[in-house]
A = this chain, B = another copy of it.
């Protein structure tokens, strides 16, 4: 029975699960749970994940939620997954776990939250919140600084000085790549100072080509759409002198 992924590509934890399957040749059926229509709260989806969050998977009769738990499971349950994704070595695995957990304890008010409050909220019916965005920006910058100075080391292109990516690279890169939806000025202001992080993101995209960019393109397309709306509103304001319909991003 084919593995089912319950996902919306607008969500970065969903993107990481899809990319992992594509990279490792795991057959799957993608079931779209549309966040903008709040389908994660439907009675049908509740049968899959009573926590009512995505992503979730169904592998035969086995149901599982939380993207990191899903990545660990997929890495162990499917044959021929290369060891570098989730090393069997006790010490290497513990370090990968440490990065995964650090991401969760540090980033709840990091990039995902920042992007949500400053750009993505309206896509799921929540108004932009400039105060909350400002509150999370400081934490985001501090977290990027720690990736730059602690998790990325001189040797090795990937996290923890590795030569090949792990599920921690995949998940953290998806988290940070959520910032791609920002306009170029804000993106440069936040990520520009972190040269090592930018190089690592490039290396990760390249190591995971073409799947990383293909799955990430949902976000690039959304950015283009927002940009077009913004330009249309700008042009309407010029014509009518009226107030903008679309709120400023910052």
- Write the residues of chain A forming the contact surface with B, with a CB cutoff of 8 angstroms: 50-51, 53, 62, 64-69, 72-73, 76-77, 90-91, 94-95, 97-98, 100-102, 104-105, 108-109, 146, 149-150
Task: State how many angstroms separate the Cβ of A101 from the closest Cβ of chain B.
Answer: 4
Task: State how many angstroms separate the Cβ of A150 from the closest Cβ of chain B.
Answer: 5
Kindly list chain B residues whose C-beta atoms are within 8 Å of the C-beta of A67. Answer: 101
Contact of A91 among B51, B62, B97 (CB under 8 A): B62
Q: How many copies does the complex hold?
A: 2
**Interface residues of A, dominant DSSP:** helix
Is the pair A149, B72 in contact by a Cβ cutoff of 8 Å? no
- Given A53-B105, A62-B94, A73-B97, 9 more A-B residue pairs with CB atoms under 8 Å apart are A50-B146, A51-B102, A64-B95, A66-B97, A67-B101, A76-B90, A77-B90, A104-B105, A108-B108
Bound form: Cα–Cα A77–B89 in Å: 11
Contact of A104 among B72, B104, B146 (CB under 8 A): B104
In the assembled complex, 27 residue pairs joining A and B whose CB atoms fall closer than 8 Å, in A order, are A50-B146, A50-B149, A51-B150, A53-B105, A62-B91, A62-B94, A64-B95, A64-B98, A65-B102, A66-B102, A66-B105, A68-B97, A68-B101, A69-B94, A69-B97, A69-B98, A69-B101, A72-B97, A73-B90, A73-B94, A73-B97, A77-B90, A77-B94, A104-B104, A104-B105, A105-B108, A108-B109
Is the pair A104, B101 in contact by a Cβ cutoff of 8 Å? yes
Task: State how many angstroms separate the Cβ of A31 from the closest Cβ of chain B.
Answer: 18
Bound form: Cα–Cα A65–B103 in Å: 12
Task: State how many angstroms separate the Cβ of A171 from the closest Cβ of chain B.
Answer: 11
Bound form: Cα–Cα A146–B52 in Å: 10
Task: State how many angstroms separate the Cβ of A94 from the closest Cβ of chain B.
Answer: 4
Kindly list chain B residues whose C-beta atoms are within 8 Å of the C-beta of A76. Answer: 90
**Leading 9 A-B pairs by shortest Cβ distance:** A104-B104, A66-B101, A69-B97, A108-B108, A69-B98, A73-B94, A50-B150, A68-B101, A66-B98
Bound form: Cα–Cα A104–B69 in Å: 12
